[in-house]
């Protein structure tokens, strides 16, 4: 009896060293602007990309979302990626390509992400692609160079963790809340050394967009990556995508993909369970995704914690400018951001628009769709007008304010309600204070001008 992890690992293992490390074949290698170090290493050795047809470039981290690039350095980063990919015959979704967007949005929507594949990218949130039953994980610059040169990567197989979420999610609760809930429960290192397979009816009930959000955040709890076994929802999503199999090829592929789910009776190294009914809309209060609580809670008191955890909480509250005992819903915000590889797909924009329709935001903010295609679809549905009528800026696609590399940033000391994946110190800009939450919750915060429970705002509305 084998798990999904076992099957994927076995299918890609070329050989195994005496120390237990496996040489794995890579089916898809995604590169962005940060890959310049790896290309430089390859050039210094006089090497060529081993499989340029399996490598795809995407401009996303430095992509300007509001007109021209903010600085010559940003222009140079984008041009370097385009030169490197062109020199090696690699397809690149550049700024002028209608398929451009965030790499972890573009891969799935183009059909490059498929069940059973091993997918690497020099970006920690590559785990997103595991939502399709793929073996997907981020790698470092040296490993990127190795994949470019050999189309293989050395890895030690992680332990398996099955995380089962049962029951039905309540109104206003989604994949982002599931992820923040388990990370808060287990801690930022709670799944270290493990690959998570998410199961249970609350998981299979998620859309593919929701599954991508859940897998995307796996690493924030210390996991090497996250996965969800492919099913009919997966196959339906893939059908008709530009790079996906077609016709009889798709039928054969689906027959193969149906054999990927973990066998009945397969044994996992670890089991964790959660009840969907116990999960509420969640926000973060500190400087780690584990610093998360239901929005109806109060800021925690470090004096009730022990040792280093108490010290960490005090430091987080000091940075965030918060005091123990304060209701989370009393925390005023300065701006909002809806975007990132975690929550910038069409479903995310619909969820935020369902809250904002006919309402005004009390604070400024950016809405950055995950790709050109998401942007076009949102505009066709009129979602852009909902955001602009509410007073928010509707901008181009890219990583934008998530990582503050392209000129979009939160000013020092300012507080942002954000759909991103990390609330680390300085993540959204030097001195920025970030509260993570779902798109619907960010929309609620915008309307209230403070952290707010979205559920009352959804009453009588379609919570898309």
Question: What CATH number did the domain enclosing 106 receive?
Answer: 3.30.499.10
Whole-number average pLDDT of the chain:
97
* pLDDT score recorded for residue 95: 94
User: Residue 464: is its pLDDT beyond 70?
Assistant: no
User: Residue 405: is its pLDDT beyond 50?
Assistant: yes
Distance CA 456, CA 312 (A): 34
Q: Tell me which residue of 446, 366, 355, 451 sits closest to 400, measured CA to CA.
A: 366
- The one-character DSSP state at 324 is T
- The model's pLDDT over 250-267, given as tens digits with 9 standing for 90+, comes to 999 999 999 999 999 999
Q: Is residue 184 part of a domain?
A: yes
Which tokens belong to 239? 């059908």
Same domain, 256 and 183: yes
Boundary of a domain, candidates 222, 239, 271: 271
121 contacts 113 by C-beta, under 8 angstroms? no
Measured CA to CA in angstroms, residue 34 lies from 48, 76, 339, 367 at distances of 18, 12, 20, 24
pLDDT bucket at 388, cuts 50 / 70 / 90: very high
Give the other-Cβ count within 10 Å of 1's Cβ: 9
Boundary of a domain, candidates 246, 271, 296: 271
Beta strands (DSSP E) in 107-203 are 118-121, 135-138, 152-156, 159-166, 194-199
Same domain, 164 and 203: yes
Same domain, 260 and 324: no
Q: Tell me which residue of 317, 275, 278 sits closest to 294, measured CA to CA.
A: 278
299 contacts 283 by C-beta, under 8 angstroms? no
Sequence-distant (6+) residues with CB within 8 A of 95 are 59, 63, 64, 78
Query: Averaged over 394-409, what is the pLDDT?
Result: 95
User: Residue 384: is its pLDDT beyond 90?
Assistant: yes
- φ and ψ at 159, to 5 degrees? -75, 160
341 contacts 107 by C-beta, under 8 angstroms? no
Measured CA to CA in angstroms, residue 344 lies from 144, 340, 422 at distances of 26, 5, 15
Q: Is residue 86 part of a domain?
A: yes
User: Residue 75: is its pLDDT beyond 90?
Assistant: yes
Which tokens belong to 394? 């509707």
Element (H, E) at 284: strand 282-284
> 175-186 and 208-216 helices cross at what angle (nearest 10)?
20
Query: Averaged over 129-145, what is the pLDDT?
Result: 97
186 contacts 271 by C-beta, under 8 angstroms? no
Query: Averaged over 363-369, what is the pLDDT?
Result: 98
Helix/strand/coil for 185:
helix
Q: Is residue 201 part of a domain?
A: yes
| Domain extent for 397 | 284-458
Same domain, 162 and 306: no
Query: Averaged over 277-306, what is the pLDDT?
Result: 97
Measured CA to CA in angstroms, residue 305 lies from 285, 314, 350, 405 at distances of 15, 10, 39, 35
Boundary of a domain, candidates 271, 295, 326: 271
Same domain, 241 and 297: no
* pLDDT score recorded for residue 461: 72
* pLDDT score recorded for residue 462: 61
Same domain, 309 and 428: yes
Same domain, 215 and 140: yes
Element (H, E) at 442: helix 439-448
Q: Is residue 235 part of a domain?
A: yes
Same domain, 197 and 343: no
Give the other-Cβ count within 10 Å of 412's Cβ: 11
Distance CA 190, CA 163 (A): 12
Q: Is residue 276 part of a domain?
A: no
64 contacts 398 by C-beta, under 8 angstroms? yes
User: Residue 128: is its pLDDT beyond 50?
Assistant: yes
Q: Is residue 278 part of a domain?
A: no
DSSP per-residue letters across 61-127: TT--SSSS-SSHHHHHHHHHHHHHHHHTT-EEE-TTSTT-B-HHHHHHHTT---TT-EEEESSGGGG
Strands across the sheet containing 365-367: 393-394, 365-367, 335-338, 415-418, 433-436
Class of residue 272 by CB neighbours under 10 A (exposed 0-12, middle 13-18, buried 19+): middle
- The one-character DSSP state at 20 is S
Same domain, 112 and 154: yes
* pLDDT score recorded for residue 98: 97
Same domain, 256 and 157: yes
Angle at 62 between CA 59 and CA 67, to 5 degrees: 95
Q: Is the dihedral of CA 101, 107, 108, 112 positive or negative?
A: positive
Q: Is residue 39 part of a domain?
A: yes
Same domain, 207 and 289: no
Q: What whole-number percentage of the chain has pLDDT above 70?
A: 99
Which tokens belong to 82? 């385009």
Domain count, the chain: 2
Give the other-Cβ count within 10 Å of 350's Cβ: 20
End-to-end CA distance of the chain: 39
Sequence-distant (6+) residues with CB within 8 A of 246 are none
- The model's pLDDT over 433-443, given as tens digits with 9 standing for 90+, comes to 999 999 999 99
Query: Averaged over 90-108, what is the pLDDT?
Result: 97
Q: Is residue 360 part of a domain?
A: yes
Query: Averaged over 48-69, what is the pLDDT?
Result: 96
Same domain, 265 and 400: no
118 contacts 147 by C-beta, under 8 angstroms? no
Distance CA 440, CA 437 (A): 8
Which tokens belong to 112? 């490059």
């Amino acid at each position: 009896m084998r798990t999904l992890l076992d099957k994927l690992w076995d299918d890609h293992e070329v050989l195994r060293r005496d120390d237990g490390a496996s040489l794995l074949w890579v089916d898809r290698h995604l590169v962005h602007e940060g890959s310049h170090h790896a290309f430089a290493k390859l050039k210094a050795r006089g090497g060529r990309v081993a499989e340029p047809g399996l490598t795809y470039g995407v401009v996303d981290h430095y992509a300007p979302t509001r007109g021209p690039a903010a600085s010559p350095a940003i222009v140079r980063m984008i041009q370097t990626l385009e030169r490197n990919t062109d020199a090696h015959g690699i397809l690149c979704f550049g700024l002028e390509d209608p398929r451009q967007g965030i790499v972890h949005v573009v891969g799935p929507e183009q059909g490059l992400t498929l069940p059973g594949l091993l997918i690497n990218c020099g970006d920690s949130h590559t785990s997103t692609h595991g939502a399709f039953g793929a073996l997907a994980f981020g790698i470092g610059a040296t490993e990127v160079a190795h994949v470019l040169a050999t189309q293989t990567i050395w890895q030690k197989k992680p332990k398996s963790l099955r995380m089962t979420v049962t029951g039905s999610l309540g109104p206003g609760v989604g994949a982002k809340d599931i992820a923040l809930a388990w990370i808060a429960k287990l801690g930022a290192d709670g799944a270290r050394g493990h690959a998570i397979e998410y199961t249970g009816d609350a998981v299979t009930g998620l859309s593919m967009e929701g599954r991508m959000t859940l897998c995307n955040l796996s690493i924030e709890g210390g996991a090497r990556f996250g996965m969800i076994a492919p099913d009919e929802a997966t196959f339906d999503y893939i059908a008709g995508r530009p790079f996906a199999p077609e016709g009889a090829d798709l039928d054969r592929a689906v027959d193969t993909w149906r054999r990927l789910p973990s066998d009945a009776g397969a044994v996992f190294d670890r089991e964790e369970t959660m009840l969907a009914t116990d999960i509420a809309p969640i926000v973060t209060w500190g400087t780690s995704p584990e610093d998360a609580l239901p929005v109806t809670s109060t800021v925690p008191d470090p004096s009730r914690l022990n040792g280093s955890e108490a010290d960490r909480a005090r430091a987080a509250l000091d940075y965030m400018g918060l005091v123990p005992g304060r209701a989370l819903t009393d925390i005023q915000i300065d701006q909002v951001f809806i975007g990132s590889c975690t929550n910038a797909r069409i479903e995310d924009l619909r969820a935020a628009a369902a809250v904002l329709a006919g309402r005004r935001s009390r604070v400024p903010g950016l809405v950055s769709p995950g790709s050109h295609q998401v942007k076009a679809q949102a505009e066709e549905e009129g979602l852009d007008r909902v955001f602009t009528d509410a007073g928010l800026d509707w901008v181009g696609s890219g990583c934008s304010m998530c990582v503050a590399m392209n000129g979009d940033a939160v000013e020092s000391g300012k507080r942002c309600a954000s759909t991103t994946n990390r609330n680390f110190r300085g993540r959204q800009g030097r001195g920025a204070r970030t509260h993570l939450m779902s798109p619907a919750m960010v929309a609620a915060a915008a309307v209230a001008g403070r952290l707010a429970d979205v559920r009352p705002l959804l009453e009588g509305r379609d919570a898309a």
